[in-house]
Chains A and B, each alone.
Chain A
């Protein structure tokens, strides 16, 4: 899916603050985001800071999107556990699914193998995004965020955003 279309459908759904740490899988989206104003998109220095910024934006009345590589998920599990998951702060979290398609990259294999297990262990709702975001799927995700007030994770596979 084209990153600009993906971005536009998120904005149309009411996501008005983006923050995170880049990943090569997410690079096309980052290219779109980097054209935006800093009150709309903040490149965070660390993934846990992105979780904090998104929480702040939500407190201030904006539905946030966080993006990060799955390596960053390891860095900020505690941030999720002690902020959005207990304060009931919703966010759409785009996590690149490095590992399965990265046989040459040893550093991604361990996290890639256990990424879905981490979501299950922490009872964090997720699904895999392989390049298609239909209006009805996005509507369901938005509904989950608004009704449950919890983060929802989309695992972004290699090449899903272009």
Chain B
């Protein structure tokens, strides 16, 4: 499966008003193409910080399910976030990592993700459940389970680097993204 297919599967299987914090670049843009939602927060930059923002939201909105749509390049830049999430145990947090083993937005330069079992790092850090997934049917099953069980969940999704058409930039200003997201709460 490629990244867009994985994102589409996730969006299609949401149960309702889950809050999604998106990492910058292609991940935000492809999710926007799949379905733009007012509960979507797109980071335009701030590489490495999607999971920090999501953790902040999750701690202060314990009644809402918070999903972070992260990438391997992003997560490698902010590995300390895994330690923090493991330590704080936010039960409403689902951490998805679209792992294409590359910096996709800047031209697929390789990351060190192939040498590093991210899902095991998450497990050791203290996530309640951690998975590595390669196939769509398993992704659907595990993601659906994560929506109705106690987290934090870590779901590393292996995706190909194939991109049929580079997605356009998010057409909103940063302030508009924030205002809309806060209105959705």
Contact = CB atoms under 8 A, between A and B. Distances in A.
Interface size class of A (residues with CB under 8 A): 20 to 34
Contacts of A120: none
A46 interface: yes
B49 A59 contact: no
Interface in A1-30: 17, 19
B123 to A, nearest CB: 18
Q: Which of B43, B46, B81 is the most central at the interface, judged by chain A CB atoms within 10 Å of its CB?
A: B46
Contacts of A88: 174-175, 178
Give the dominant DSSP class at B's interface: helix
B84 A44 contact: yes
A95 interface: no
Contacts of B133: none
Give the dominant DSSP class at A's interface: helix
Interface of B: 21, 41, 43-46, 48-62, 78, 80-81, 83-84, 88, 174-175, 177-178, 181-182, 185
Contact of A59 (B50, B56, B80): B56
A55 B56 contact: yes
A17 B88 CA distance: 15
A42 B59 contact: yes
B92 to A, nearest CB: 11
21 contacts: A17-B59, A38-B59, A42-B55, A44-B84, A46-B78, A48-B49, A51-B49, A52-B49, A52-B53, A56-B53, A57-B59, A59-B56, A59-B57, A61-B185, A62-B60, A79-B46, A82-B43, A86-B175, A87-B174, A88-B174, A89-B178
